[in-house]
A and B are shown apart, each in its own frame.
Chain A
Amino acid sequence: MLQKIYDWIDERADITPIWRDIADHEVPEHVNPAHHFSAFVYCFGGLTFFVVVIQILSGMFLTMYYVPDIENAWKSVYYLQTEVAHGQIVRGMHHWGASVVIVMLLLHTLRVFFQGAYKKPRELNWIVGVLIFFIMLGLGFTGYLLPWDNKAFFATQVGLEIAQQVPFIGEELKTLLAGDPNIVGAQTLTRFFAIHVFFLPGALFALLAIHFILIRRQGISGPL
């Protein structure tokens, strides 16, 4: 039955080549923890992606309750945390996932760095990877404000003051992020929400796609 459905779709959309590109490849011995225990270091990248998926899913559920408005943002998070069934777990996954993703990303980066896996022909993929790292830090910075509690508010205020001190474009940069040259308030929250939920994830998905396509094109780097 499943085979028939597959054949029916395949005849119309020719999905077999796509399937080959995604799944039909060999995994070399030196990255297989079944043969070399130390090959667990090759799991870091995959686990980073796993946490990213957790972040996307938990974030999608959080937006069902979250209200990006200074009157209600904190109250909606408090309600989610205390009243909604399993809300504490979903928010906990998003909160801790934000930290774990940085840790895994760092481990993955260090693995690639110390193995010299970024050398020719993989320079481009390294650059894409570092850009993903920056996007993640941006997601962390913007997401920190969203619960609209004291630590969020004052950390963002400091962050914006630092942005303001950049020469020439400092004031404009701060206004772009905060929505106002002086006030950290309603505008700031909605801007950070938009950046956190639409702008940065969009950039992240594009970069992840390039990252994975390049890995499948070039294959994993050989043993040292």
Chain B
Amino acid sequence: MHKGKGMKFVGDSRIATERKPNVPKDYSEYPGRTEAFWPNFLLKEWLVGAVFLVGFLCLTLAHPSPLEGMADPTNASYIPLPDWYFLFLYELLKYEFASQNYILMGILVLPGIAFGALLLAPFLDNGPGRRPHQRPISVGMMLLALASVIWLTYESAANVDWESRAEANKPIPPGEEAEIDTEHAGYAVYENSCLSCHGDNLQGGGAGPSLIGIDKSAEEIATIAKEGIGSMPPDQFTGTDEELEQLVDFIVSVNEQSEE
């Protein structure tokens, strides 16, 4: 680059008046079959990106992102679960050597060693060889760590019934909570038999799902009240047939209102 005396600039700027020709360097000395990044290779990258985007949008369309009911800090029966990529750390805390008195092992020492080693990998594995068989220790450690993470994630996720979790925590559309007619004859029956699990506004709770927006006929509701369904035990309702009729009528009327 030309420096010092004799330099001319555009106006009072630091940009040189003398133009450098805008031609790319000659790549003929590069080894192998190289390809210019612009525009040849970038086009291929765009194609890969486009295919990836189509796949990603298919995933997005096929599975709408989940949303549970609004946070209720008083819900004592909710079993917390982190996002899937934190499950392995969460599962680690269930082992005896990483919980209770040894909790620091689980939250600091073990993850600290693993992530610290990952961060400092170039200095721990500082030999000249790049091929995996030339550095068996670091590759072995990585495979071991990878296997433990996959195993812990599997252990944690396999015990969760994802579908019933989503079912039990379905969101209640806002504005539908207030439409409960507490004067209704069936509400008294509801209060006795169902309220403790399904909530005072039919909004659901820790033990039972919301009863608003259910797609069930009156007979089906009557059967479920007597015989239970899923994790709901039978004989939750133990009254006369007249009371049962009032109860079903009440639940159906609330649902009909919410659909309007």
Contact = CB atoms under 8 A, between A and B. Distances in A.
A214 interface: no
B231 interface: no
A27 B122 contact: no
Nearest to A54: B56
Interface of A: 10-14, 16, 20, 23-30, 32-35, 40, 43, 46-47, 50-51, 54, 70, 74-75, 77-78, 81-82, 88-89, 91-100, 102, 109-110, 113-120, 122-123, 126-127, 130-131, 134, 137, 140-141, 144, 147-155, 157-159, 162, 165-167, 184-185, 221, 224
B82 A144 contact: yes
Nearest to B146: A110
Interface string B42-74: 101100110011001101110111111111110
A119 B121 CA distance: 9
Given A50-B52, A78-B174, A149-B70, A24 B25 contact: yes
Contact of A117 (B68, B108, B130): B130
Interface in B17-61: 19-20, 22, 24-25, 27, 30-38, 41-42, 44-45, 48-49, 52-53, 56-57, 59-61
A130 to B, nearest CB: 5
27 contacts: A12-B13, A13-B15, A24-B24, A24-B38, A25-B37, A29-B35, A46-B49, A47-B52, A74-B67, A74-B70, A74-B171, A78-B174, A99-B85, A100-B56, A110-B146, A117-B130, A137-B86, A141-B83, A144-B82, A144-B83, A149-B70, A149-B171, A151-B68, A151-B169, A162-B93, A165-B107, A184-B73
Interface of B: 10, 13, 15-16, 19-20, 22, 24-25, 27, 30-38, 41-42, 44-45, 48-49, 52-53, 56-57, 59-61, 63-73, 75, 78-86, 90, 93, 103-104, 107-108, 115, 118-123, 125-126, 128-132, 134-135, 139, 142, 146, 169, 171, 173-174
Contacts of A115: 130
B41 A92 contact: no
Nearest to B35: A27
Given A50-B52, A114-B139, A77 B129 contact: no
A199 B36 CA distance: 37
A27 B37 contact: yes
B133 to A, nearest CB: 11
B118 A130 contact: yes
Given A26-B36, A89-B60, A91-B65, A118 B27 contact: no
Which of B52, B120, B126, B128: most chain A Cβ within 10 A? B52
> What DSSP secondary structure best describes chain A's contact surface?
helix
Nearest to B130: A116
> Considering the complex of A and B, which 7 residue pairs feature the smallest CB-CB distances, nearest first?
A116-B130, A95-B65, A29-B32, A154-B80, A153-B71, A123-B122, A149-B68
Given A27-B37, A27-B41, A130-B115, 12 more contacts: A16-B22, A78-B174, A88-B65, A92-B63, A100-B59, A115-B130, A120-B122, A137-B85, A149-B71, A150-B75, A154-B79, A162-B93
Contacts of A27: 34-37, 41
Contact of B80 (A14, A102, A157): A157
A153 B122 contact: no
A34 B81 CA distance: 43
A158 B82 contact: yes
Which of B35, B66, B67, B107: most chain A Cβ within 10 A? B67
A120 B123 CA distance: 9
Contacts of B65: 81, 88, 91-92, 94-96
Contacts of A162: 93, 107
B213 to A, nearest CB: 12
Contacts of B169: 149-151
B37 A113 contact: no
Contacts of B66: 95
A178 B78 CA distance: 20
A26 B56 contact: no
Nearest to B119: A130
Contacts of B81: 151, 154-155
B64 A149 contact: no
B82 A155 contact: yes
A46 B171 CA distance: 37
Contacts of A167: 104, 108
Contact of A113 (B24, B42, B121): B121
A99 B66 CA distance: 13
